């Protein structure tokens, strides 16, 4: 029975123990006890908590040193400095094998409990080459991981090596769902033209927008208000995400109120990667103002950072830790930002634990999400569309390995 499975003795949303029947890759029903039909595979959950799979809403899968020789991190300490260091490295080294890197990153993501990712692929330095590698990887992983791509000019849309009006639409035609940008003031240097071009290309291609915004204070807020205007001009409502949004860190409720009104009206969500070196937008403040808030892991040991293994449980734990969360409800709110929060921003259909939802699940050997967040290094089970893809950090054979063409 393809996509059929009985998951037994797991702790459900209400905290009670029960079983989950999966049919055709979807949750058919839950009940205290369900008897398996003949020849149906059964997984024993051992009383662990079941959750929907993590949604990693911000990664850069084409770039990582993991799986290769160790590379010392000796790059700049600021975002513009890192961008320059990346450009200098790329000018003196061969292009990274983005296909291999995608395989490495996706395998790590799966074994750590992720079932959906949004990957930012650089189209600024090498044209469509990295995107083409990424699409090869997406096809290989199509049965075990849902992958959405953003065509991102990593050093700014106005600094691309090729014509953005040609390259970005071509990337969307190839298969990218979104287009990106980075710091209209700080990197592009002409924020009005940068945001205008990004929004116009999104309107012309039908793509989503996911803008990296590392700019602080008034500069970042200026870029953000330009984006609000561009969304209205080009009718991009409910298609735009702002990643990082450092300018929203530590703002008062009074300052944030009109910004939040714009974000709700325009359907904008915030993605944080929970940086340790700078303040980031407050989950609780976003919740108070009903602004969608999700989480991504961003870099996986590359030219931008020596940290990261695509571990969403670790990342939501850091969100809780750096937010000084201690109560169970706050810890679980941080956990949920990496599942339901990211899923809302990515507009995933049929996501969750209700009957009819896709059976994209993780089981942790814990009583609840707070304990899973704090104590469990690896999920006991990772299930994708009703199929076991990882057990205790070990991938099943259905998860592809990279083999050079």
- pLDDT tens digits for 343-365? 999 999 999 999 999 999 999 99
Residues 295 and 316: beta-carbon distance below 8 Å: yes
- The torsion of the CA quartet 362, 365, 366, 369, rounded to 10 degrees, works out to -20
Which DSSP symbol is given to 248? Answer: G
Q: What is the pLDDT of residues 160-173, one digit of tens each?
A: 999 999 999 999 99
What's the pLDDT at 67?
Answer: 87
User: Is 317 exposed, middle or buried, given 0-12, 13-18 or 19+ CB atoms closer than 10 A?
Assistant: buried
**Contacts for 353 with CB less than 8 Å, ≥ 6 apart:** 12, 13, 27, 30, 50, 51, 52, 361
Measured N-to-C along each axis, helices 98-111 and 129-140 cross at an angle, to the nearest 10 degrees, of 40
Q: Averaging pLDDT over each range in 35-49, 54-68, 133-147, which range is the top one?
A: 133-147
Q: What CA–CA distance (Å, rounded) separates 98 from 115?
A: 20
Question: In a 10 Å sphere around its CB, with 0-12 CB exposed, 13-18 middle and 19+ buried, how is residue 199 labelled?
Answer: buried
pLDDT at 304: 79
Kindly state the greatest CA–CA separation across the chain: 65
Mean pLDDT lowest among 34-48, 80-94, 289-303: 80-94
| Confidence band of 96 (pLDDT split at 50, 70, 90) | confident
Region 42-65: mean pLDDT is 96
| Reported confidence tier of residue 13, pLDDT bands at 50, 70, 90 | confident
End-to-end CA distance of the chain: 33
Give the lowest-confidence range in 82-96, 122-136, 182-196, 328-342. Answer: 82-96
For the chain, domains (ranges, CATH) are 5-52+353-395 (2.30.40.10), 54-346 (3.20.20.140)
The pLDDT confidence band at residue 3, using thresholds 50, 70 and 90, is low
Joined tokens for residue 365: 């050997």
CB-based burial of residue 163 (10 Å sphere; 0-12 exposed, 13-18 middle, 19+ buried)? Answer: exposed
Helix axis angle, 312-322 to 328-336, nearest 10° = 130
CB 302 within 8 A of CB 65: yes
Predicted confidence (pLDDT) at residue 235 exceeds the cutoff of 90: yes
What is the overall mean pLDDT for the chain?
A: 94
> In the structure encoding, which two tokens stand for residue 104, read together?
């490495």
Contact of 36 with 44, CB cutoff 8 Å: no
Residues constituting the chain: 405
> In this predicted model, what pLDDT tens digit does every residue of 290-337 receive, in sequence order?
999 999 999 888 887 888 899 999 999 999 999 999 999 999 999 999
Q: Tell whether the model's pLDDT for residue 285 goes beyond 80.
A: yes
The C-alpha atoms of residue 123 and residue 311 are separated, in whole angstroms, by 25
> Would you say residue 1 has pLDDT above 60?
no
Whether the Cβ atoms of residue 188 and residue 159 lie closer than 8 Å to each other: yes
Q: Cα–Cα distances in Å, from 15 out to 45, 327, 333?
A: 14, 17, 16
Within 10 angstroms of residue 78's Cβ, the number of other Cβ atoms is 12
| pLDDT band per the 50, 70, 90 thresholds, residue 405 | low
The reported pLDDT for the residue numbered 205 is 98
Phi, psi at 111, each rounded to 5°: -70, -15
CA distance linking residue 261 with residue 133, whole number of Å: 40
Angle at the Cα of 22 from the Cα atoms of 17 and 26, rounded to 5 degrees: 120
Confidence (pLDDT) at 387? 96
Q: Which of 280, 206, 289 is nearest to 249 (CA)?
A: 280
Task: Give the count of beta carbons closer than 10 Å to the beta carbon of residue 265.
Answer: 12
With residues binned 3-state (H G I as helix, E B as strand, rest as coil), the percentages for the chain, rounded to 5, are 40, 20, 40
């Amino acid at each position: 029975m393809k996509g059929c499975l009985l998951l037994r003795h797991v702790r459900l949303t209400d905290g009670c123990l029960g079983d989950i029947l999966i049919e055709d890759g979807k949750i058919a029903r839950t009940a205290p006890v369900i008897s398996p039909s003949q020849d149906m595979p059964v997984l024993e959950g051992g009383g662990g908590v079941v959750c929907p799979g993590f949604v990693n809403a911000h990664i850069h899968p084409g770039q990582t040193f993991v799986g290769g020789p160790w590379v010392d991190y000796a790059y700049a300490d600021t975002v513009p400095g890192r961008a320059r260091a990346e450009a200098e490295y790329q000018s003196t080294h061969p292009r990274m094998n983005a296909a291999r890197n995608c395989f490495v990153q996706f395998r790590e993501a799966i074994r750590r409990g992720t079932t959906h990712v949004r990957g930012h692929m650089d189209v600024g330095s090498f044209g469509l080459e990295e995107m083409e590698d990424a699409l090869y990887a997406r096809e290989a992983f199509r049965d075990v991981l849902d992958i959405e791509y953003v065509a991102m000019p990593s050093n700014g849309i106005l600094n691309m090596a090729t014509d953005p009006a040609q390259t970005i639409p071509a990337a969307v035609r190839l298969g990218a769902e979104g287009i990106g940008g980075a710091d209209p003031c700080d990197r592009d240097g002409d924020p009005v033209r940068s945001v205008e071009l990004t929004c116009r290309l999104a309107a012309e291609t039908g793509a989503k927008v996911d803008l990296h915004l590392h700019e602080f204070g008034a500069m970042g807020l200026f870029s953000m208000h330009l984006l609000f205007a561009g969304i209205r001009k080009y009718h991009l409502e409910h298609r735009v995400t702002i990643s990082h949004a450092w300018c929203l860190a530590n703002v008062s409720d009074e300052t944030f109120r009109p910004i939040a009104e714009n974000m709700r009206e325009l359907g904008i969500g915030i993605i944080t990667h929970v940086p340790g070196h700078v303040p980031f937008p407050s989950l609780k403040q976003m919740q108070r103002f009903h602004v969608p808030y999700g989480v991504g892991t961003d870099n996986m040991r590359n030219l931008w950072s020596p940290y990261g293994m695509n571990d969403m449980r670790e990342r939501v734990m850091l969100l809780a830790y750096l937010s000084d969360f201690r109560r169970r409800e706050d810890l679980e709110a941080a956990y949920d930002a990496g599942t339901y929060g990211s899923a809302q921003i990515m507009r995933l259909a049929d996501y969750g634990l209700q009957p009819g939802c896709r059976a994209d699940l993780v089981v942790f050997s814990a009583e609840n999400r707070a304990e899973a967040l704090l104590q469990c290094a690896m999920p006991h089970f990772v299930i994708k569309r009703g199929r076991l893809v990882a057990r205790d950090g070990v991938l099943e054979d259905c998860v592809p390995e990279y083999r050079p063409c």
